[in-house]
């Protein structure tokens, strides 16, 4: 087991990001800090350091327990880091989940299930009494 690890590899191996390239992009875009300092993807981390990751609207914080560069199973994650995220951040996350759908202006974004059904009903010709056979008879006479 290594004493240090690259931050982008550690974030990926600890399952904080789905891919290493996403972890590297987060570092490049100043979304990852160690002890309050922005870091590059090649920054080496040590056990005991605190890593903060901005995933809007929340800033997650983790205390590194082990430095790893190989991805491990989800059951082993408690041995890799300790989640020290402020409980207020989770309140912010919950509030954004609750208010996320309330603020959507009608007609923007994907249609709701009800709106989709009304669209299908509008487009479906069977509801208007049209039949494909009737249309073909008119064209057969030409």
Q: What is the pLDDT of residues 10-63, one digit of tens each?
A: 999 999 999 999 999 999 999 999 988 999 999 999 999 999 999 888 899 999
pLDDT, tens digit (0-9, with 9 covering 90-100), for 96-119: 777 655 555 666 778 788 888 887
Question: Which of 65, 96, 67, 81 is CA-nearest to residue 16?
Answer: 81
pLDDT at 122 over 90: no
Query: Which pair of tokens denotes residue 60?
Result: 């997650």
Is 4's pLDDT higher than 60? yes
Q: What is the pLDDT of residue 131?
A: 56
**How far apart are the C-alpha atoms of 78 and 54, rounded to whole Å?**
21
Per domain, the residue ranges of the chain are 4-100
Q: Assess whether pLDDT exceeds 80 at residue 141.
A: no
* C-alpha 33: how far from chain center: 19
Does the 4-100 domain belong in CATH 3.40.50.300? no
- 3-class SS of residue 72: coil
**139 pLDDT more than 80:** no
């Amino acid at each position: 087991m290594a004493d240090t690890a690259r931050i982008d590899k550690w974030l990926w191996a600890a399952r904080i990001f789905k891919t290493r390239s996403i972890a590297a992009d987060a570092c490049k875009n100043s979304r990852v800090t160690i002890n309050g300092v922005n870091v590059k993807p090649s920054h080496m981390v040590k056990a005991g350091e605190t890593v903060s990751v901005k995933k809007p609207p929340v800033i997650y914080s983790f205390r590194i327990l082990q430095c790893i560069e190989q991805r491990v199973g989800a059951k082993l994650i408690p041995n890799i880091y300790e989640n020290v995220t402020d409980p207020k951040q989770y309140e912010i996350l919950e509030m954004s989940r609750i208010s996320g759908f309330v603020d959507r202006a009608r007609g923007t974004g994907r249609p709701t299930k009800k709106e989709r059904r009304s669209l299908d009903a509008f487009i479906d010709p069977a509801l208007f009494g049209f039949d494909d056979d009737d249309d073909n008879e008119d064209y057969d006479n030409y």
